[in-house]
Structure 1
């Protein structure tokens, strides 16, 4: 049984707690948060307020990093220095450059680092990728992704780091919609260009953007359109639409629907929400956590690596630069910049 700890006891830690139980191969033996008021959140589990003290005291196999964005790189690096495997929440880092720095560290160390892009494991997305791989409906022509959620002023006031560029790295593009960007690039392929506009149209007075619109170019001539906002009235279902030469596939409301002109729509797959989780967290934290533990136990590479998460950071940095400079950005500018 792997000895597991959680660092950061915010909202998403509860989902990781359920995933650890679901794994059947990991046991939570310690938790850590600088807020002493959270020491009873997980009763009978040793509680620490200092990460390094926990790493020195406990004999840990794997740590779940569930901290604010600006701490991901430094805390993951610290855990690796103690020879502990890391499951890190999204996003990979604050920037593409910082993500590359983490990749360089991981490439030279034996502990594994997995990034929590659990929606890759949703049955609907797996089925979508299988359908596209068959090529029975021809080439992919376009992919559209829409995220319309609500985050009011209280969301940022309770945790001010969410509202600042320096600590969050962005607003909706990096906090709410990074999972959708990740899936979008898996569908579209190698990224070539981006033209984006970031803005604020919601009630919250924040430094980071609450709304983003962008187009992406992929190397196979597939065209991408993306929009996300935190200014909607509630959390609507994420929608991903893939247009091929002979069909349209839509991911919405935990279902994958296939549309062919002149035929009735077909539901190809459905997701089953994880017990106790919010629907927009995705259904597959448990699957991802169990797979990572198995990769540790059997020393395999079957998990989402740091390198796998770099394209999402590339998209985020490209959107920020494109909006700031009001021009199309070639991805090579970010990669070699």
Structure 2
């Protein structure tokens, strides 16, 4: 089977996860890396034995490149993805897919127009505990979903924002804890629950208000399409990065996802369905363990022209709609219909 040539745009911390996954894959090979910091690009190219560029347009016009991985600051995702598909490349973009729903819609249109796939890195869908929970819910064995709870309690320092050059501002990050840290949890909640139709929520900035203009804390009630109700809380004001908690209350049982495990409770019985620790990874534990799985699935989809296992722009847009709804609800005090 052909090995797809890959380019990674952006050589920040997350790019190493992508590069290692490509190197380990039988379906891809790393052709080049790109960064506006010449020394950073050169260091990555030396580590992974590939070419390097400073201008991303050189990478997307490289004839050996089939797939472009976008690991840049949020505000660059949409424009770079659109340029890549126009150049005939498939694209895998880190979350968020874009910083606005309108940008994501344009990406989806360009993807269809040029016949190229754009996938979104919501890798936590591929975690074993997420996959098993989805399988159980979709089977109907434990009845319909009645409610979902998602809790994210993390922390970020002043330096996390000031040293980045782009975090902490709406124009470049697109938001705060919602679009950067908690978006994976919102994606899992809507994916497991079958989609959200309306939200009511609030956002606040409790710490570092003199440093950032975005929110560090958010809470919301999510109204699902199937009649279920969700509650959501996320903050960057804690003192450590605790494991994310997700609970799914169904008619006949409750599922709990926490730190790589999945537990099912039915009455007084408690069954451990998936064991493991999210911290058992060479990378930051809150990045999840499944980038390599997602990347392999994306490459397999490109090679077979079968997009069933790609997390598409349209799917990636759902969490953006929820986030946009929470912002609007916070400013108006109203329930906001998003679908």
Answer yes or no: same fold by TM over 0.5.
Answer: yes
Q: CA RMSD in A?
A: 1.5
- For 2:53 and 2:73, locate their aligned partners in 1 and report how far apart those are by CA, in whole Å: 17
- For 1:249 and 1:57, locate their aligned partners in 2 and report how far apart those are by CA, in whole Å: 47
* Match 1:160 to one of 140, 157, 165: 165
Give the match for residue 300 of structure 1. Answer: 306
Is the CA contact 1:48–1:54 (under 8 Å) kept in the aligned structure 2? yes
* Match 1:244 to one of 226, 247, 250: 250
- For 2:106 and 2:96, locate their aligned partners in 1 and report how far apart those are by CA, in whole Å: 14
- For 2:216 and 2:83, locate their aligned partners in 1 and report how far apart those are by CA, in whole Å: 32
Gaps of at least 5 residues in structure 1 are 333-337
- For 2:304 and 2:276, locate their aligned partners in 1 and report how far apart those are by CA, in whole Å: 28
Q: Does 1:291 align with 2:297?
A: yes
Is the CA contact 2:200–2:334 (under 8 Å) kept in the aligned structure 1? yes
- For 1:207 and 1:252, locate their aligned partners in 2 and report how far apart those are by CA, in whole Å: 31
Task: State the secondary structure of the residue aligned to 1:173.
Answer: helix
Is the CA contact 1:203–1:231 (under 8 Å) kept in the aligned structure 2? no
Q: Does 1:40 align with 2:40?
A: no
Give the match for residue 188 of structure 2. Answer: 183
* C-alpha displacement of 1:329: 1.0
Is the CA contact 1:161–1:168 (under 8 Å) kept in the aligned structure 2? yes
* C-alpha displacement of 1:131: 1.2
Q: 1:272 to 1:29 in 2, by over 3 A?
A: farther
Q: Does 1:101 align with 2:138?
A: no
Give the match for residue 262 of structure 2. Answer: 256
- For 1:261 and 1:236, locate their aligned partners in 2 and report how far apart those are by CA, in whole Å: 28
Per mean C-alpha deviation after superposition, the further-off stretch among 250-259 and 268-277 is 268-277
Q: Does 1:86 align with 2:86?
A: no
- For 1:65 and 1:72, locate their aligned partners in 2 and report how far apart those are by CA, in whole Å: 7
Q: 1:60-71 maps to which residues of 2 (within 5 A)?
A: 60-71=65-76
* C-alpha displacement of 1:187: 1.9
* C-alpha displacement of 1:261: 2.0
* C-alpha displacement of 1:126: 0.8
Q: 1:14-163 maps to which residues of 2 (within 5 A)?
A: 14-38=16-40, 39-43=42-46, 44-163=49-168
User: CA offsets per residue over residues 145-184 of structure 1, 9 Å max, x none?
Assistant: 0111111101001113110001111101000111111110
In the superposition, the TM-score normalised over structure 2's length comes to 0.94
- For 1:326 and 1:4, locate their aligned partners in 2 and report how far apart those are by CA, in whole Å: 46
Give the match for residue 231 of structure 1. Answer: 237
* C-alpha displacement of 1:225: 0.5
- For 1:182 and 1:270, locate their aligned partners in 2 and report how far apart those are by CA, in whole Å: 22
Is the CA contact 1:215–1:225 (under 8 Å) kept in the aligned structure 2? yes
- For 1:32 and 1:65, locate their aligned partners in 2 and report how far apart those are by CA, in whole Å: 10
Is the CA contact 1:145–1:225 (under 8 Å) kept in the aligned structure 2? yes
* Match 1:310 to one of 304, 314, 317: 317
Q: Does 1:216 align with 2:222?
A: yes
- For 1:117 and 1:229, locate their aligned partners in 2 and report how far apart those are by CA, in whole Å: 20
- Count the aligned residue pairs: 331
User: CA offsets per residue over residues 78-126 of structure 1, 9 Å max, x none?
Assistant: 1111101111111011111211111111111122111111111111011
In the superposition, the TM-score normalised over structure 1's length comes to 0.94
Give the match for residue 169 of structure 1. Answer: 174
User: CA offsets per residue over residues 268-324 of structure 1, 9 Å max, x none?
Assistant: 013565742221101110001011111111221131111111211110110111112
Gaps of at least 5 residues in structure 2 are none
- For 1:110 and 1:271, locate their aligned partners in 2 and report how far apart those are by CA, in whole Å: 39
